[in-house]
């Protein structure tokens, strides 16, 4: 069973509006409020593909209750740790030209909250793979993520990391099964600006040297991605344009779709990348996750090539 951990979930408020004007109020065209957070998005996307997972995380207040209720309404399993405060609301604005995001810090966690999460991890009987995604809440212990990884690995589980923090670099030495940085994160962590295949080769090699088994490197709005298993590197590109509505959950759903195929069949990189790119593209065409209605069609319009060794 896949488990996802979202230490800092959110209600996403996605607003479509005219251009922002300094010192003036503007009226938006529409706003929607969705239960989100990076690991939760992975659970939701897996569910849309018919695969169950268990969503773990820290939740608080009326927004936390909303996120947990929505998670269960979607048919996802959820084992929340309830904490004090209010789960954050993140705001995303699309003014027709640009996307703007304001991400809040979220409610603080305590050492007791962390212990409760570790107890949940230790009591899982069916944990095959833990996907740890997103930022950490305020006051998280410095070694919180090290401990999360250790608890999962003690149970014999694989660990997948999609972390925005620089902690990713130190966690590479725990030999995670897969990491999913985007090109900005890769530059921040390994110091390589990725514009060419050779840049990607250098960055991916550094990740493997640091201890990572596999890397899915997404290139954001360029509509491409690299995957490396330490021996070979594949490059995937979507050969179609999309009408961007909100790119916010696209990366999480790209990861979910990739794992869905690749986790059980590690030789099937090409098809896994096609499904991943198609899913990410389709998600960016709607608010939240959308209905995945074009995923099959888009999969046929993604090209994948293996880079020469």
Ligand X SMILES: O=P(O)(O)OC[C@@]1(O)O[C@H](CO)[C@@H](O)[C@@H]1O
- Catalytic sites, residue numbers: 252
Q: Interface with ligand X by CB under 6 A: which range of 170-178, 247-255, 263-271, 290-298?
A: 247-255
> For the CA atoms of the chain, what is the radius of gyration?
19
Binding test (CB under 6 A) with ligand X, winner from 181, 223, 251, 290: 251
Pick the binder of ligand X from 249, 259, 273, 281 (CB under 6 A). 249
Strand partners, 243: none
Residue 262's φ and ψ, nearest 5 degrees, are -75, -30
Told to check if 37 binds ligand X by CB under 6 A, we report yes
Residue 10 as a binder of ligand X (CB under 6 A): the answer is yes
* Span 204-233, contacts to ligand X by CB under 6 A: none
Assigned token pair, 11: 């209600």
> What is d(CA 188, CA 261) in angstroms, rounded to the nearest whole number?
29
Residue 167 contacts ligand X per CB under 6 A: no
Tokens of 98: 């640009």
- Find the part of the chain contacting ligand X (CB under 6 A) among 22-30, 32-40, 113-121, 171-179: 32-40
**One residue of 113, 135, 182, 228 binding ligand X per CB under 6 A:** 135
164 contacts ligand X (rule: CB under 6 A):
yes
Q: Does 103 bind ligand X (CB under 6 A)?
A: yes
List of residues 6+ apart from 97 with CB closer than 8 A: 19
- Name the token pair of 290: 């959308």
- The verdict on 254 binding ligand X (CB under 6 A) reads no
- CB closer to ligand X out of 4 and 135: 135
Should residue 12 be labelled a site residue for ligand X when binding is judged by CB under 6 A?
Answer: yes
| CB-based contacts of 60, cutoff 8 Å, min separation 6 | 82, 83, 84, 85, 86, 87, 107
Going by C-alpha positions, the residue among 39, 28, 106 that lies closest to residue 253 is 39
Please, what is the minimum distance in Å from the beta carbon of residue 199 to ligand X? 24
Binding-site member from 14, 87, 90, 299 for ligand X (CB under 6 A)? 90
**CA nearest neighbour of 99 among 14, 35, 176, 22:** 14
Query: Quick one: which of 194, 259, 224 has its CA closest to 42?
Result: 259
Q: Which residues bind ligand X (CB under 6 A)?
A: 8, 10, 12, 36-38, 41, 90, 103, 134-135, 164, 248-249, 251-252
């Amino acid at each position: 069973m896949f488990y996802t951990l979202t230490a800092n979930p959110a209600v996403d408020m996605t607003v479509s509006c005219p251009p922002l004007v300094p010192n003036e109020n503007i009226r938006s065209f529409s706003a929607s409020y969705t239960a989100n957070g990076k690991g939760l998005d992975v659970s939701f996307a897996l569910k849309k593909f018919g695969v169950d997972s268990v969503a773990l995380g820290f939740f608080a207040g009326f927004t936390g209750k909303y996120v947990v209720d929505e998670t269960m309404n979607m048919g996802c399993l959820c084992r929340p740790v309830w904490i004090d405060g209010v789960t954050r609301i993140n705001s995303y604005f699309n003014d027709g030209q640009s996307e703007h995001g304001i991400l809040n810090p979220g409610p603080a966690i305590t050492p007791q909250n962390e212990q409760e999460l570790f107890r949940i991890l230790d009591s899982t009987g069916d944990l095959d793979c833990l996907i740890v995604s997103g930022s950490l809440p305020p006051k998280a212990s410095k070694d919180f993520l090290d401990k999360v990884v250790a608890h999962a690995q003690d149970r014999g589980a694989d660990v997948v990391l999609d972390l925005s923090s620089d902690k990713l670099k130190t966690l590479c030495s725990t030999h995670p099964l897969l990491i999913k940085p985007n090109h900005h994160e890769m530059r921040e962590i390994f110091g390589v600006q990725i514009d060419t295949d050779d840049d990607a080769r250098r960055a991916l090699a550094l990740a493997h040297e640091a201890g990572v088994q596999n890397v899915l490197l997404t290139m954001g709005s360029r509509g491409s991605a690299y995957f490396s298993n330490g021996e070979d590197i594949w490059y995937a590109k979507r050969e179609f344009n999309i009408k961007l509505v909100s790119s916010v959950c696209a990366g999480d759903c790209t990861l979910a779709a990739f794992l869905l195929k690749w986790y059980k069949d590690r030789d099937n990189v090409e098809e896994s990348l096609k499904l991943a790119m198609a899913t990410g593209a389709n998600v960016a065409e709607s608010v939240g996750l959308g209905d995945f209605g074009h995923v099959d069609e888009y999969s046929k319009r993604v090209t994948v090539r293996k880079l020469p060794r």
